[in-house]
Amino acid sequence: MADITAKAFICGCAGPVLSRDEIVFLNRERPFGLILFQRNCREPEEVRTLVAVFREAVSRADAPVLIDQEGGRVQRFQNGFTRLPPAASYAKAPELAESAGWLMAAELLAVGVDFSFAPVLDVDCGVSQIIGNRAFSTDPELATRLASLFRKGMNAAGMAATGKHFPGHGAVALDSHLTLPTDERDLDSLRVKDLLPFKQLILEGLEGIMPAHVVFPNIDPNPAGFSSFWIQQILRRELNFNGVVFSDDLSMAGAASAGDFPERARQAQQAGCDMLLVCNNPAAAEQVLEALPVTQDPVRELRLRRMQGRPLMNRAALLNSEKWRHCSALINLHTQNYA
């Protein structure tokens, strides 16, 4: 990604076409990137137009566009895209995890989306309302192996991966979209279970990580996404992570304990987040962008360059390829059997 003079911020938009007001806003505030949701896709080809208009508005031809396209309950683009099963399904078919990662990434890259926030590295503990079968397994070793294969497939398609939700969201019942969950475990308990997938994928070169809006009061008083202990001491120093740290959505209720939106942004940056997200609250996005300075950080820029999508083919070529037909058929059958 070229000269990053944009603000270290990622925002959303209201629909499949940017409004005039949104274009003016993007041109004035110059956020770094755009995150898309189901509301932004009626047809795959519309996405490419939306991406082009966004990049023109922010005056950067390589401004990144991203999405949550895990599969199962969290698959934003569905019409015109292969329906993916939840991550937990691959425990019964480990040989399909790599193909699923490739398929998800190849289909997104072919319409101009640079990367998906995937894979989920949480270890399911059987209590989480929001994680559940989004996790690959209740077994940390199996979760690690399957997530590694999924990332391998993403990389083969030309897409970087972002593991979430560090240091683990699978042992709390509450949903951080609605409240701030609390996990009472100690650090040793996390090290022998929840941190294992993060540790291994970091060793394999994981490009991005998203911290959880979860507080671990027996370890640190701040939610992980606002904690220099978790981001700088554990993630950067202990685990030697050198990739991008993306905040989770600052408009989620789990982030509210940090204060108003500009204060949430300030605390997340101070804790060590490279890139901030406000996805579904345009007024809050404007508040954050107005308060957020443009900063030059060569280390951050180097990390962000690794996130740029490298599509191997356009959509027409992809849909005509033998690999896409083979992988799509396998995953369609697996999804039907899992359902």
Is residue 248 among the annotated active site residues?
yes
Distances, alpha carbon 216 to alpha carbons 10, 88, 115, 162, in Å: 26, 25, 29, 22
Is the peptide bond preceding residue 167 cis, with omega within 30 degrees of 0?
Answer: yes
Using H for helix, E for strand and C for coil, what is the string for 210-261? EECCCEECCCECCCHHHCHHHHHHHHHHHCCCCCEEEEEECCCHHHHHHCCH
Q: Which of 237, 249, 245 lies closest to 213 in space, CA to CA?
A: 249
Distance from C-alpha of 139 to C-alpha of 45, rounded to nearest angstrom? 39
- Tokens 């942004």: give the residue: 265
- Candidate list 122, 183, 194, 248, residue with the active-site label: 248
Beta strands in the chain (DSSP E): 7-11, 31-36, 65-67, 69-71, 74-75, 115-116, 162-166, 208-211, 244-249, 275-278
Q: How far is CA 98 from CA 101, 146, 169, in A?
A: 5, 8, 23
Cβ neighbours of 219 (radius 10 Å): 21
Cβ–Cβ under 8 Å, residues 2 and 269? no
Q: Which residues are marked as active site?
A: 177, 248
